[in-house]
Amino acid sequence: MDIAPESIKDLFSGGGGTLGERMGLQITEASPERIVGTMPVEGNTQPYGLLHGGASCVLAETLGSVGAVLHGQTVDRPFAVGVDINATHHKGARSGVVTGVATPVHRGRTMATYEVVITDDAGERVCTARITCLLRGA
């Protein structure tokens, strides 16, 4: 079963969902092999003015889930549900935009795992995350 083209388009518009939309997340590239998205630091900070770790996880989960959905279509399991996420925060970001790039670690029939590298405007790594999604059929 394929997801209707308008549903796939909905994944990309508004940052992949209501939370992504509120956080200013934009998906700029998407295929099962590589998903890229951006998110502003402003409005997504913790009390010390740094990018909130949870915001990095939202970016990572969104990008990895989109990749899992796109892969899931190829194995007749087009619905992805996140079952695990972990993140290592390497450096704080105080301003600008962060960019996440998700690439597959494993793409199977029932599970997909993506690594997401998040960098700041200078190209320095802010966070490395890994998300695993369960793939479900219709």
75-125: pLDDT as tens digits: 999 999 999 999 999 999 999 999 999 999 999 999 999 999 999 999 999
Q: Residue 49 in 3-state DSSP?
A: coil
106 exposed, middle or buried (CB, 10 Å; 0-12, 13-18, 19+)? exposed
Whether 29 sits among the annotated catalytic residues: the reply is no
Q: Strands across the sheet with 97-107, in order?
A: 26-31, 34-40, 97-107, 111-119, 125-136, 79-89
Indicate if the pLDDT at residue 14 is higher than 60: no
Output Rg (C-alpha) for the chain, integer angstroms. 14
Give me the amino acid identity at 138.
Answer: A
Q: Residue 111 in 3-state DSSP?
A: strand
Specify the pLDDT at position 18: 87
Indicate if the pLDDT at residue 133 is higher than 50: yes
The one catalytic residue among 6, 61, 115, 124: 61
Task: Output the CA torsion sign for 16, 109, 71, 9.
Answer: negative
